[in-house]
Structure 1
């Protein structure tokens, strides 16, 4: 698209990620994390655009098109709203717009996508298997299960946080495949369905294949730590420059939420999926333990309210707000529940998941995918050509 429109591509890095650590190795301390926020990142981008225009004579009057996927897609939309004088138009792919703590819809859409890609016999086997595992925990009969998975002796099945971490990990695996590797969903379900045993036993055998395959190959010399403390350690790592895990979790604890729960409080609904074992307070506890006593549910609630009040969440008329933004979503993407899916400037692409449209037009892609890309190009070209 840049070539066809005589454009220059710039890739900007978000503060606190990659090499952009403002306080070097002390950047992820509580004292310095206060400078990590969406608004600071958008201000960085505004500064970058102004700098490029003022320091390159051939860019002074250039139009600016923002393209982003996932959180950066959200940023592209929010940037267009907050700095309209700097941005001509934006393409926001797989962009969540509604800040929300209890994102229970995510795992429900994971289940829906498994059904769409393979059939409900796969999700039924998963759900029955999870219900069986829940029963083992409820009746204190987890010894054989944990031994078969080579769980560390320190894991305490009677500890509620350890229990939630175990079930969260199972859900995260299926979510990862659906969100990021949608083409492999049929193979995943084929593996699960090929196990010649009852539905109740199949998931446990599947987990053994999943968790112990590396051990058979000699990649793991130690037990597998499914504990809450091991999860907390991921968010307490101060020196990790590669994954951005602590920085991203800090942002979710303060402005976005987006916690993939499977158990809803104050409801009689039975529609929650994946074992119904991971409530919102599990993530609230992680936030508290990772970032201290000042990190409370009220802190997040305030941040979410401010986000949705300023940017509109999903309650906006696109003829009045975000007119310069085109939104695309994959039909299989669980994140689309929090994105703009309606209207002439919103496209939902059948058979695809998260940010899978952010590639050049390819003859191997489906007709709906390439038509969506052509519509995005047409939308952006109209803004580029406009006087």
Structure 2
């Protein structure tokens, strides 16, 4: 059942790109989030007007936004510095006083009121009478001090600190509402926050009773060649509008671009693909390749979002259209259409500009996240989506060395240190065998990130759902009339599991 009985647009998830340090993917992500937010707020405004004309019992309950003071370093009690962390609360569906608490966890982008207004977790809150709360991730959105992006402070940006923030927020909400042990907490998250949801249950089982972890890459990996293997498979998958012909055309097109770059014909590449400036050397050429690949990677990861042109079927229509010329010519058309829809005059392929942006410590607004997330990949996760495997449809020039070089250039972090950090993360959380309980891992098989998640039941209480034909965090969107049967069934399974958890919590509370 959707928000107030009506399907509400598309949800502002924490649908992070988790991508390489090239610009197009981040632009795609920003556009996805922006358009989702606009649709949600428009629909919510309409529904508020309906409620104002209805029975008093359905009166709109205003949302609460606030800030909780958090220690900059939870693990050093002598550190006096704090920062304000933003949260949202929605009491609209809460069956006081014993109803459950559904916690939506923010990630590597700004969080908004949509986090407690729309999405499958909101539908579940309405169904089970839950209090909805959400917490923005430290160092993202407005949960950051003006000096927060400086290197000396970024050391406090980590998943361990983020989990401790959730502990403090749990304490805050519990005190604010006088919650008791019978107020069962269930947390929800998608992508990196999906990992945080699983880890919150793993590390703090006395605080959160269960977790729904969607599209969560719980296994950190330095060289993530598997990402583009899934991209290739999706581009050839007829379920989402792909075909073998489409994949073959993409391979040929990128082979042509690769050949031009290797033969130093950078002027032609810059002209054909509307580079904002000349390609000055190898690094700029690699950026041009990465930005072109991002168009296809983004279409696969965010497939069927209906928020911009780049779904798999749309791209494959272009790449298999022989009237447009050679596969290289078709790639030119795809790139031009991407720029038009994104309202961009050109593509910034300057490696120097990229380094300058990543080195900037100026907090410029709620959309700051580029520098922070790259820091987290360098210090915790890796996740570098390379193309060195033979199954990658793009160019082998998109390699691990160039990704690791950014960590060194921007943060002074050496490649061995990154590998050590990735190994620590997996040892600390258990990678894709975390040995938790009451965690439900949900993934779509079109989503490239599913290969780093938990795909099969690990135990009777550590369960997994793999949804055929869906992409990144698709199950977290609100229910829509045109949803595929596999997605509808998955949401029903999630709802049933939440109901089972709540029943079990009630029995355990009665027996205590």
Q: Provide the TM-score with structure 1 as the length reference.
A: 0.89
Question: 2:126 corresponds to which residue?
Answer: 3
Question: 2:442 corresponds to which residue?
Answer: 328
The Cα of 1:154 is off from its aligned counterpart by 4.1
> What CA distance in whole angstroms lies between the structure 2 residues aligned with 1:192 and 1:273?
13
**Selected match of 1:144 from 239, 256, 268:** 268
The Cα of 1:195 is off from its aligned counterpart by 4.8
Q: Provide the TM-score with structure 2 as the length reference.
A: 0.68
| Alignment CA distance shift 1:378-1:208 (3 Å) | closer
The structure whose RCO (Cα within 8 Å, separation 6+) is larger is 1
**Selected match of 1:252 from 377, 395, 399:** 377
Q: How many residues align?
A: 367
SS in 1 for 2:195: helix
Question: 1:267 corresponds to which residue?
Answer: none
Q: Is contact 1:263-1:272 (8 Å) kept? A: yes
The Cα of 1:299 is off from its aligned counterpart by 1.8
- Within a 5 Å distance, the mapping from 1:207-246 to structure 2 comes to 207-211=335-339, 213=340, 220=345, 224-238=347-361, 239-240=363-364, 241-246=366-371
> What CA distance in whole angstroms lies between the structure 1 residues aligned with 2:480 and 2:271?
47
Question: 1:194 corresponds to which residue?
Answer: 321
The Cα of 1:187 is off from its aligned counterpart by 1.4
The Cα of 1:5 is off from its aligned counterpart by 1.4
Q: Is contact 1:90-1:324 (8 Å) kept? A: yes
**Selected match of 2:152 from 27, 31, 39:** 31
The structure in which a higher percent of residues are strand is 2
Question: 1:99 corresponds to which residue?
Answer: 220
Moved over 6 A (4+): none
| Alignment CA distance shift 1:136-1:378 (3 Å) | same
> What CA distance in whole angstroms lies between the structure 2 residues aligned with 1:63 and 1:74?
20
The Cα of 1:204 is off from its aligned counterpart by 3.3
The Cα of 1:125 is off from its aligned counterpart by 0.5
Q: Which moved more, 1:229-238 or 1:299-308?
A: 229-238
Q: Is contact 1:182-1:332 (8 Å) kept? A: no
Question: 2:204 corresponds to which residue?
Answer: 83
Q: Is contact 1:107-1:262 (8 Å) kept? A: yes
**Selected match of 2:312 from 177, 181, 185:** 185
**Selected match of 1:340 from 450, 454, 457:** 454
> What CA distance in whole angstroms lies between the structure 2 residues aligned with 1:152 and 1:357?
38
Q: Is contact 2:270-2:278 (8 Å) kept? A: no
The Cα of 1:54 is off from its aligned counterpart by 2.8
| Alignment CA distance shift 1:205-1:58 (3 Å) | closer
The Cα of 1:149 is off from its aligned counterpart by 3.0
Question: 1:129 corresponds to which residue?
Answer: 253
Q: Which moved more, 1:199-208 or 1:117-126?
A: 199-208
Runs of 5+ unmatched residues, structure 1: 265-269
Runs of 5+ unmatched residues, structure 2: 1-123, 306-310
The Cα of 1:284 is off from its aligned counterpart by 0.9
Q: Cα RMSD between the aligned structures? A: 2.0
2:406 corresponds to 1:286: yes
1:211-238, CA deviations, whole angstroms, 9 ceiling, x for partnerless residues? 4x379x8x63xx6431212222342232
Q: Is contact 1:68-1:92 (8 Å) kept? A: yes
The Cα of 1:151 is off from its aligned counterpart by 2.7
| Alignment CA distance shift 1:153-1:351 (3 Å) | closer
